[in-house]
Amino acid sequence: MSTPSKNFLGPVSAYAIAVKHGFSGTEAEWIAQEQAYATAAANSATAAANSATAASGSATAAAGSATAAAGSATTAAGYATDATNAKNAAVNAQTASEAARDNAASSASSASGYKADAVTAKNDAVSAKNAAVSAKGAAETAQGKAETAQGKAEDAQAAAEAAQALAESAAGYYIDADDNNKQYRVSHKFEDGHLVTTYTEVTS
């Protein structure tokens, strides 16, 4: 059997070690203190476990919140897409409206041109009508003058015919003193528009 080292203290209690390291008090006080430390440690462990449980619950709630936030973000992305589509539709509607406005302006310009052409045509028609009325009046005046001239010509012709008839019917006698007082019968007639006088000697 070996001989113990001179530094070997033999069986030593925890209380003795505590005393060696500065504890002052009875062993019962030391035990009570250690029990209090153990109880405090247990309470701290329980509190830590509770904190861990609460933290786990908070993490779960945070995960739920994150999931809800992700859902909200997805919904918001959908709303953003809808807003973009609505914006594009509004831009297209505005473009269509501007095109319709330009077409309306072009149609109005064309209508204005057509109206001006119609007014010009109307004025030309009025001028043509006035010219026709003037021409009709001039024709009627010319016709009246022609009828008047024709009447005068007819009157002149009748007068000429009457004069011709009178001249032709006028019979007379002529005595030529220079020719032994010979007696001539004088007659008149028109030939080719000229008055021809004929002297015929009377023998008996």
SS3 track for the chain: CCCCCCCCCCCCCHHHHHHHCCCCCCHHHHHHHHHHHHHHHHHHHHHHHHHHHHHHHHHHHHHHHHHHHHHHHHHHHHHHHHHHHHHHHHHHHHHHHHHHHHHHHHHHHHHHHHHHHHHHHHHHHHHHHHHHHHHHHHHHHHHHHHHHHHHHHHHHHHHHHHHHHHHHHCCEEEEEHHHCCEEEEEEEEEECCEEEEEEEECCC
Residue 61's pLDDT is: 84
Give the whole-number percent of the chain exceeding pLDDT 90. Answer: 21
In this prediction, residue 199 carries a pLDDT of: 78
pLDDT on residue 40: 96
The pLDDT assigned to 57 comes to: 87
pLDDT of res. 91? 84
Q: Report the percentage of the chain scoring pLDDT > 70.
A: 78
pLDDT by residue (tens digit) across 73-121?
A: 788 578 778 868 868 977 886 897 798 688 857 766 775 776 788 688 6
Structure confidence at residue 26 as a pLDDT band (50, 70, 90): very high
